[in-house]
Chains A and B, each alone.
Chain A
Amino acid sequence: MDAIILQILNGLDKGSAYALIALGLTLIFGTLGVVNFAHGALFMLGAFCAVTFSRLLSLGFVPEDAGDTSVGGFSFGALQQETPYVVHWFGEGTGNAIIDWAVPLSILFAIPVMVAIGVTMERGLIKHFYKRPHADQILVTFGLAIVLQEIIKYFYGANPIPTPAPSAFVGSFDFGVLLGFDPGSIVYPYWRLTYFFFAAILIAAVFAFLQFTTFGMVVRAGMADRETVGMLGIDIDRRFTIMFGIAAAVAGLAGVMYGPINSPNYHMGMDFLVLSFVVVVVGGMGSLPGAVLAGFLLGIIEAFASMTEVLNVLPGINQIIIYLVAIIVLLTRPRGLMGRKGVMED
């Protein structure tokens, strides 16, 4: 029993990332009808927003009154302590806390940046591809993904950059005690737990936005019948552009918070993209709940397949389980788990 709960928990954090990326992909697909292969790159850009922000925070200067550090005629310039501006401005305690909390704080930085990137992308490139075949959309966004990835590689190098979680989140939470099992039987890192709750809140926020606001209502109407909404005198294109920005921000935030789990590197987006597409297709093209459901489902299935007991029976199954599930789902339920009729059917 405790092993099962542990695997479900293990599946949740990866599942959250899948669900968030797949949600963004589905938003873009459902509104604009564009298959966005650059979505993984947006996830990666989000992670690098966190990297950039924490670097900005630790930007410092050497105080002039640091004194003469040369000892016995040797200069120890490198030993001079840099004082980050943040510490200088806010004082020792607050300043260091801000630096410690760089990753959660970079959400504030990432939202405007990602929305701007998303809107620019849509206006600058994707806009011209609405009428082109899906193959062309896949190809041009694939090219864009390569370009974005290489730009990041040029500026940040090819190695993963560690972005630690705030020290308050270091360590693990012992679920075993809470649920009445032996202590230590189910331990789960705090940050992964945070990631799951963050993802859940973000998903809920997107759904609430679509469900309970006028803007969301118009967007949903546009997803159902774009032409009619346009004829009613609503500038649906502008709203869809904003939705693209929101989808980019969702992917970006998923990336920001994923940094402490896996150090960001320039190709992390591509690794997630392939899986996210599988998730979207399993969930059903164009279905938002389907994307979220399939994301968590596949994350948990993957976690179960990585159990040693399973691996002893079926070696290597953890590597292929997601694809296997995808193949089975696509062949038995052609529209995916929750796909609607008439979406993406050539």
Chain B
Amino acid sequence: MTDQTTDTGAVRASAPKTKAASGRVLGLGGKDLSLFLLVLGLALFAPFILNPFPEGSALSQFNAGYPDLMQRFVIFGIFAIGFNILFGLTGYLSFGHAAFLGVGSYAGIWMMKLLTTNVIPAIIGSIVVAGLFALIVGFISLRRSGIYFSILTLAFAMMSFALAYSVLTPITGGETGLQLKYFDPRILDAELAPGNPPRANLFGLNMTSSYELELGSWVFTFNAGYYLAAFMMLLAFYLSIRIFRSPFGMMLRAVKSNQNRLNYTGISSKPYTLAAFVISGMYAGLAGGLLVAMDTQVGAERMFWTASGEVVLMTILGGAGTLIGPVLGAGFIKYFENIISKINSTVLHDWFAFLPDGLENVVVAIIYPFVGKGWHLTLGLLFMLVVIFLPGGLVQGGQKLATVFRRDKNAGSVESDAAKKQPGHPGE
């Protein structure tokens, strides 16, 4: 997973060799296949990997292996993968992507209210509606580029947010949002037994049902909803690899590296960027639909522009334009958001209890602003540091580390790849 995107020339040149050497499974070349298998393994065994500390121990609060958080990992992973197809490949920075997530969520919950609580139609509905919405927004926004594009997408997202809160209340539930209710029509479903609240399910398998495995003092939770979301994430990840390696993906990179040159060769970039925009909107819709399938409720706040900002953070933090980056970034942010924000001063005092009292108080006083409610401060600082020192995100950081440790002949080339990774900007 050293060179994933920028050195496409090298990938292209070595492609026939790789094909001959290892054959292609599912249309993936050697490196991509191992990357995909890595993500597959991580997703499958997440309940184990994320629960390394025994229950009840002091470190158990670092465990992330509970269903709600694991679902968030993969769902926001999908969102970030989709965003990366637009931003990472074409360089168009959309500041309104949360709108598609929100629209997808609303579409999903209406499918569950009107048709059936089975999640499959809800997810399909989310993708389709978000895709259509993205088509409209993209068609208009993509007439401009650069910061104008960012502002246009932002304007559309804020409009959707404002409308969802005010005028569209009959459809969106306004401030209270939407939940599944006992008296929803659900024309495809059998009558619910009285007193049974409707639940999201997959052909009868309840999304909230979990199987708990106890091994000694460890408890591992296997949640049906998580595995559905993880399956979708793998599908999304696989598709994004295929897009990255396709001629279509190559065209998108051409848009990023020099749109003028593309125009001079007689190619209009609009169809390509619009397609990328719609695809990435559909990914966001999928994520929105999955969110609904997990917790069966929607509120307009998930369309606010800070939510759009968050997906930008995830992608940049992980590494824009890389395959694995967005997934890493989404996991990283969601993990620390949940874990760090839970740390309070009592916990800190427990940790540093081994220090002399005076020193303990000083250390706690220094760390305290950065944890708990101050988590956003840490996030902001981290984000600034990443943009300043590691424009390629965590992936670039990993590569730099690898270079330091490997010290073989390839070291130089990896370094130069990392340097190349900084997105070139036309007209700069």
A residues sitting closer than 8 Å to B (CB atoms) are 35, 125, 128, 131-136, 138-140, 142-147, 149-151, 154, 270, 274, 277-278, 281, 285, 315-316, 319-320, 323-324, 326-327, 330-331, 334, 344-346
Contact = CB atoms under 8 A, between A and B. Distances in A.
A150 B383 CA distance: 14
Interface in B130-184: 140, 143-148, 150-152, 154-156, 158-159, 162-163, 165-168
A58 to B, nearest CB: 26
B380 to A, nearest CB: 3
Nearest to A144: B384
A319 B388 contact: no
A143 B426 CA distance: 24
Given A133-B423, A154-B369, 18 more contacts: A125-B384, A131-B428, A134-B147, A140-B387, A143-B381, A149-B380, A150-B374, A274-B154, A278-B151, A281-B151, A315-B166, A315-B167, A319-B162, A323-B156, A323-B162, A327-B156, A330-B151, A346-B427
A285 B149 CA distance: 13
B146 A134 contact: yes
Contacts of B159: 319-320, 323-324
Nearest to A158: B373
B93 interface: yes
22 contacts: A125-B384, A125-B388, A132-B391, A134-B146, A134-B425, A135-B423, A136-B387, A139-B387, A142-B312, A143-B387, A146-B376, A147-B377, A150-B377, A150-B380, A154-B377, A285-B147, A319-B162, A320-B162, A334-B144, A334-B148, A346-B145, A346-B259
B388 A316 contact: no
Interface string B399-428: 000000000000000000000000101111
A270 B377 CA distance: 15
A274 B162 CA distance: 13
A229 B252 CA distance: 39
B299 interface: no
Nearest to A33: B428
A139 B154 contact: no
Contacts of B165: 319
B48 interface: no
B166 A136 contact: no
B425 to A, nearest CB: 4
B162 A316 contact: yes
B377 A151 contact: yes
Contact of B383 (A146, A320, A324, A327): A146
Interface of B: 91, 93, 140, 143-148, 150-152, 154-156, 158-159, 162-163, 165-168, 259, 305-306, 309, 312, 316, 369, 374, 376-377, 379-381, 383-384, 387-388, 391, 423, 425-428
B362 to A, nearest CB: 17
B98 to A, nearest CB: 13
Contact of B151 (A277, A315, A319, A334): A277
Contact of B305 (A35, A136, A274): A274
Nearest to A130: B428
A140 B380 CA distance: 9
| Most chain B beta-carbon neighbours within 10 Å: one of A125, A128, A274, A285 | A274
A274 B157 CA distance: 11
B109 to A, nearest CB: 21
B391 A138 contact: no
B106 to A, nearest CB: 16
Nearest to A270: B306
Given A135-B93, A316-B162, A147 B384 contact: yes
A346 B425 CA distance: 9
A136 B158 CA distance: 22
Contacts of B427: 345-346
Contact of A143 (B162, B306, B383): B383
A330 B152 contact: yes
Contacts of B380: 143-147, 149-150
Contacts of A150: 374, 376-377, 380
Contacts of A345: 146, 427
Contacts of A346: 145-146, 259, 425-427
B146 A344 contact: yes
A151 B408 CA distance: 45
Contact of A316 (B93, B152, B167, B306): B167
Given A274-B158, A277-B151, A320-B159, A327 B425 contact: no
A319 B150 CA distance: 20
Contacts of B259: 346
B255 to A, nearest CB: 11
B174 to A, nearest CB: 11
Contact of B379 (A125, A146, A270, A324): A146
B387 A330 contact: no
Contacts of A149: 376, 380
A320 B166 CA distance: 10
A128 B389 CA distance: 11
B147 A138 contact: yes
B47 to A, nearest CB: 32
B155 A278 contact: yes
